[in-house]
Amino acid sequence: MSEWVDLNVGPHHPSTHGVLRLKVKLDGEIVREVEPVIGYLHRNAEKLCENTFFCDNLIYFDRMDYVGAPGMEVGYLEAAEKLLGIFPPERAVWIRTIMAELSRIASHLIWLAAFGLELGMLTPFFYCFDLREKIMTMFVEASGSRLLTNYCSIGGVYQDFNEKVIAEIEEFLRVSPKKIEEINSLFIKNDIFISRNKGIGVLDKETAIEYGVTGHMLRASGVEYDVRKAEPYLAYSQLNFEIPTSTKGDNLARYIVRVEEIRQSVKIISQAVKKLPEGPFFNPKAKKSMMIRLRGDGEVYARTESSKGEFGVYIVGDGGVKPYRVRVRSPSLRNLSVMRELGKNVMIADLVSILGTTDLVFGEIDR
């Protein structure tokens, strides 16, 4: 007889966000040890990138963080354009900024919805999806696709923002703050929600830094680090926004930081739409007939702040039309690896809520 009950949470379990498997050692209701097992959604994206042209690789990045695809595209293009030496015109930069922030909101809303479900709240799920649907219609209008947009491309964006997209974004900016507060009040004004999250899953600053945790988890642990401020890319240096931080490091702090991030993103979009310059949306050096002949030599590393944390792309080119090696630094993987520390001596219910605040997307972890 062993002292513990070994329990496999996942890979098919309602609250593991796809295909995470947690090997859990249970002592009654209390989780003594937890070991995440990943790899069930591995699709070989990095290797596949070596076999296709620079311009075509974008679709594999769409499928990484599939709940906020444009954010991933921006991450890849930061690296690829640096390698190829083709830079987008001013208007495309601003359009990309808007799309990246919209995708951040879309991704955060999915997280909020799933987090509510994990705590047993059915209603916020639909409120979040109702709001997210507005963003999806913008994506459709801009790119023709809902989820995997494939909108940005080397040297600019696939097509220009038309008036309808701008009108939809303005409508969203008008409606969303009120709706976000409504959804937030469903959570934060509930005593049970507070009792489930306050002081649960405390991640201290040192552990967070040791594990390479980034994004909202790092910020909730008291480190003010955001790539958008630390190393501005796109148009972020010309925009006015704040980085929400907290020193508590628990679930509630992560929740509050994330909701504040949504508000900041709305603020960024409202500034960016006003500043959106006129002009070409595409660099003629990367026109369609030239696209597959683009050659890259050398190595580059570019990092962007995706909705989950620091998303880094490392590309090595050997002078050919295809990259020699592509490597992705996935933020969710680092955020998940700290689960071993957080999941010690907590209750099952807490394990699920900690998992919820971590915000995992398996397309990105397994790649």
Partner 1 sequence: MSLLARTYNIFSFLGYYADTFLTYLIDSIIFLLAAAIAIILTIYFFRKYMARVQLRIGPNRVGKFGTLQLIADALKLMGKESILPKERDDFPYKVAPILVFAGLMVAFSLLPFGSFFWVGNVVISNSEVGIILLFAVLAIMPIGEMLAGISSHNKYALTGALRSVAKDISFEVPMMISVLAIVVMASARTPSSLTIGSVVSTEILPYGILQPLGLFVFYIAMIARASYTPFDMGESESELVSGYSTEYSGMRFGLFYVGMFGSILLGSFIISLFYLGGYNGPYEWNLGLIYLLIKTVIVVVISFTVWLSMPRIRIDKFVNLGWKYLFPISVFNLVLAGFLTLYLGW
The DSSP annotation for 96-138 comes to HHHHHHHHHHHHHHHHHHHHHHHTT--HHHHHHHHHHHHHHHH
CB closer to partner 1 out of 120 and 144: 120
> Which residues in 26-55 contact partner 1 (CB under 8 A)?
26, 28-29
Pick the stretch among 85-93, 116-124, 215-223, 289-297 that binds partner 1 (CB under 8 A).
Answer: 116-124
CB closer to partner 1 out of 179 and 267: 179
Amino acid at 134: K
Site string for partner 1, 181-200 (x = CB under 8 A): -----x---x-xx-xx----
Cα separation, 230 vs 232, whole angstroms: 6
CB closer to partner 1 out of 13 and 267: 13
Q: 170 with 273: CB under 8 angstroms?
A: yes
Please tell me the count of residues contacting partner 1 according to CB under 8 A: 32
Q: Is 4 in the site for partner 1 (CB under 8 A)?
A: no
Q: Is 316 in the site for partner 1 (CB under 8 A)?
A: no
Q: Is 140 in the site for partner 1 (CB under 8 A)?
A: no
Minimum gap (Å) between residue 94 Cβ and partner 1: 33
CB closer to partner 1 out of 163 and 191: 191
Give residue 296's region: left, alpha or beta (phi > 0; psi -120 to 50): beta
> What do you get for the CA distance between the two ends of the chain, in Å?
39
CB closer to partner 1 out of 117 and 316: 117
Pick the stretch among 90-98, 114-122, 155-163, 223-231 that binds partner 1 (CB under 8 A).
Answer: 114-122
Pick the stretch among 78-86, 124-132, 154-162, 294-302 that binds partner 1 (CB under 8 A).
Answer: 124-132
Minimum gap (Å) between residue 109 Cβ and partner 1: 14
> Which residues in 330-349 contact partner 1 (CB under 8 A)?
347-349
Among 11, 15, 170, 231, binds partner 1 (CB under 8 A): 15
Burial of 120: CB neighbours in 10 Å, binned 0-12, 13-18, 19+: exposed
CB closer to partner 1 out of 195 and 238: 195
Label residues 39-69 b or e (16+ Cβ within 10 Å = b): ebbeeebbeebeebbbbebbbbbbbbbbbbb
Pick the stretch among 8-16, 99-107, 286-294, 316-324 that binds partner 1 (CB under 8 A).
Answer: 8-16
Minimum gap (Å) between residue 349 Cβ and partner 1: 5
CB closer to partner 1 out of 199 and 222: 199
Give the 3-state secondary structure of residue 154: coil
Cα separation, 282 vs 163, whole angstroms: 18
Cα separation, 154 vs 291, whole angstroms: 8
Residue 6 in tokens = 């070994």
Minimum gap (Å) between residue 355 Cβ and partner 1: 10
Cα separation, 202 vs 248, whole angstroms: 7
Give the 3-state secondary structure of residue 239: coil
310-318 and 323-329: which strand pairing? antiparallel
Q: Which long-range contacts (CB under 8 A, 24 or more apart) does 204-209 make?
A: 204/249, 205/249, 207/338, 207/341, 208/249, 208/338
Site string for partner 1, 347-366 (x = CB under 8 A): xxxxxx--------------
Q: 5 with 25: CB under 8 angstroms?
A: yes
Site residues for partner 1 per CB under 8 A: 5, 7, 13-15, 26, 28-29, 116-123, 125-127, 130, 186, 190, 192-193, 195-196, 347-352
